[in-house]
């Protein structure tokens, strides 16, 4: 097995599936700028790469979302940079030539959920919890998650997630259509990704293109500007610092 990188992102390239793993278990795989930059590089596929991609997290938690300690030190410019880089990462994920599978375990929150919904297939562990709690800290989704989730979910559930910070469990995720299946066996998730290797890249591209056309264009410039506004006013930093102090 070829393993590239032993830092915040690990890529396993041997076998029929490319495995991409968030590797910050001590920070619950939160997405700081370093991790987004590493993901950005990892998602540049090799020429002719058509194998499925399995996205997962080291440890029991897929991702708690943005690294709040880092965010508390952001100014508006850093917030813009974070959002634009995050958009680039998810866009690369959506352009991966093979089928992409996200193995969701533990908690999948905020930017972690926005990253996951860039995948074609979302597979949940039985104890999964997912949602967008950032509004309590004046943080809006910043990686295109609002648009992607609105294409998967009803308007009422979107309002519950976006404005009330509702957290869904695995069954609610499955019933709503956000999660494609529940699978408590990690080995079975890997086998599922292997089975998807039989789909040709042309078919994958055509099916994905239908979804992306329905999704519509996402403007990263506008979203980054909106995301940065609470940082410009200082509201977000104040709320995060109170949270971290408590």
Work out whether the CA dihedral 119, 125, 131, 137 comes out positive or negative.
negative
- Per-residue model confidence (pLDDT) at position 27: 96
Q: From start to end of the chain, where are the E strands?
A: 3-4, 9-12, 18-22, 53-57, 100-104, 107-109, 121-124, 129-131, 167-169, 181-182
Q: What is the per-residue pLDDT across 51-63, written as a single tens digit (0 to 9) for each?
A: 999 999 999 999 9
- Per-residue model confidence (pLDDT) at position 211: 84
Q: Chain centroid to CA 101: how far?
A: 11
- Cα separation, 59 vs 120, in Å, equals 23
- Cα separation, 70 vs 243, in Å, equals 13
3-state secondary structure of 166: coil
- Cα separation, 43 vs 171, in Å, equals 30
- Per-residue model confidence (pLDDT) at position 6: 55
**Is 220:84 a contact under the CB 8 Å cutoff?**
yes
Q: Which residues of 187-222 are buried (b: 16+ CB within 10 A; e: fewer)?
A: eebbebbeebeeeeeeebeeebeeebeeeeebebee
**Is 178:153 a contact under the CB 8 Å cutoff?**
yes
pLDDT for 210 beyond 50: yes
Q: What is the per-residue pLDDT across 148-201, written as a single tens digit (0 to 9) for each?
A: 999 899 989 999 999 999 999 999 999 999 999 999 898 899 999 988 887 777
Q: What band does 1 get if pLDDT is binned at 50, 70 and 90?
A: very low
Q: Domain-by-domain residue ranges, the chain?
A: 3-245
**Is 23:31 a contact under the CB 8 Å cutoff?**
no
Q: What is the per-residue pLDDT across 102-151, written as a single tens digit (0 to 9) for each?
A: 999 999 999 999 999 999 999 999 999 999 999 999 999 999 999 999 98
CB burial class (10 A; 0-12, 13-18, 19+) of residue 232? middle
- Cα separation, 87 vs 80, in Å, equals 11
Short-list 48, 56, 153, 151, CA closest to 97:
48
Q: What is the per-residue pLDDT across 25-54, written as a single tens digit (0 to 9) for each?
A: 999 999 999 999 999 999 987 667 889 999
- Topology adopted by domain 3-245: 2-enoyl-CoA Hydratase; Chain A, domain 1 (3.90.226)
- Residues 6+ away with beta carbon under 8 Å from 81: 33
Beta bridge partners of 169: 129
Can you state the angle between helices 76-94 and 220-233, rounded to 10 degrees?
150
- Cα separation, 182 vs 171, in Å, equals 8
């Amino acid at each position: 097995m070829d393993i590239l990188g032993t830092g915040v992102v690990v890529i396993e390239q041997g076998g029929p599936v490319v495995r991409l793993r968030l590797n910050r278990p001590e920070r619950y795989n939160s997405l700081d700028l370093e991790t987004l930059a590493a993901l950005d590089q990892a998602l540049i596929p090799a020429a002719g790469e058509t194998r499925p991609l399995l996205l997962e997290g080291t440890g029991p938690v897929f991702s708690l979302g943005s690294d709040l300690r880092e965010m508390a030190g952001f100014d508006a410019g850093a917030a813009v940079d974070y959002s634009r880089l995050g958009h680039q990462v998810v866009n690369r994920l959506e352009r991966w030539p093979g089928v992409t599978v996200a193995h969701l375990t533990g908690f999948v929150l905020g930017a972690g959920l926005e990253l996951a919904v860039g995948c074609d297939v979302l597979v949940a562990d039985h104890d999964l919890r997912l949602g967008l709690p950032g509004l309590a800290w004046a943080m809006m989704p910043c990686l295109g998650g609002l648009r992607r989730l609105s294409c998967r979910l009803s308007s009422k559930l979107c309002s519950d997630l976006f404005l009330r910070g509702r957290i869904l469990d695995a069954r609610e995720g499955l019933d709503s259509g956000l999660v494609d299946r529940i699978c408590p066996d990690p080995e079975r998730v890997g086998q599922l990704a292997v089975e998807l290797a039989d789909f040709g890249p042309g078919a994958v591209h055509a099916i994905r293109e239908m979804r992306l056309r329905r999704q519509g264009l996402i403007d990263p410039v506008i979203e980054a500007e909106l995301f940065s506004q609470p940082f410009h006013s200082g509201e977000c930093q104040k709320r995060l610092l109170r949270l971290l102090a408590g």
